Amino acid sequence: MWKSLGRREQPVAAVIGLTCDSDPDGRRVFLNSAYVAAIYQAGGIPLLLPSGSKEMAEEYLKIIDGLLLTGGGDVDPRLYGEEPKEGLGRVVRERDEFELYITRRALFLGKPILAICRGMQLLNVAAGGTLYQDIVRELGSSLHNPGGPRHALHHRVEIQPGTLLGRWLGGQVGVNSMHHQAVRSLGQGLRVSATSEDGVIEAIEGTGEVFVVGVQWHPEELTNFYPEQHKLFKNFVAAAHVSI
């Protein structure tokens, strides 16, 4: 498997924890290999973090230097004070509660965080924000989950000047799109760094000095086709290395 991950840029000691999904019965833990490859190619050491207890999360936090919140199913709306609406997909409460806990603790400890798709939504909820449970039903937009290859660019996002994303990607970039939920009200300590043409929030980042970045698209699927997307992982791993 490791031969397929690609060239490693340079050896560094930063250990990056990657959250995982699981089967409905919890018997199997899994994660798309693209996340692992993106971290490894950026010089990090990927470590999968199966969901578990708060005690398990604390043990993970002693090992990892950065936290990657990965994609997956929907976040339980009860965790941000709403009842489920039509259009809500599969939720795994155990994963939600585990990731909310480890994210809040990582924020408190000042560990760098990169959050992707569901991960960005989870980050926002962890900071006290809310979500659109289904973009099509609540906003009338069908821009964000058109299907097709995972590396296909579906639309462009406008990036705010003065943000980390603006520094790395410029003012506009094409992205893939595989989601039906999105940030609604923004969590504390976060700011919007990119939006799509229909106004949906496509990226957020922390307002403090610690690296906290969330993107709604899947850059791990784009790095082999659009090298600029690799900058997200390279800068994340570099921030995690500095924090050691």
In terms of C-beta density within 10 A (0-12 exposed, 13-18 middle, 19 or more buried), how is residue 243 classed?
middle
Give me the catalytic one of 144, 179, 180, 218. Answer: 218
Give me the catalytic one of 180, 220, 221, 230. Answer: 220
- Is 20 catalytic? The answer is no
Compute φ and ψ for 81, nearest 5 degrees.
80, 20
Give me the catalytic one of 20, 117, 180, 230. Answer: 117
Q: Which DSSP symbol is given to 1?
A: -
- Is 218 catalytic? The answer is yes
- Is 117 catalytic? The answer is yes
> Whole-angstrom distance between the N-terminal and C-terminal Cα of the chain?
28
> E strands, 125-189, where?
131-132, 155-159, 172-175, 182-183
d(CA 178, CA 134) in angstroms, rounded, equals 12
Beta bridge partners of 214: 115, 204
What are the catalytic residues?
117, 218, 220
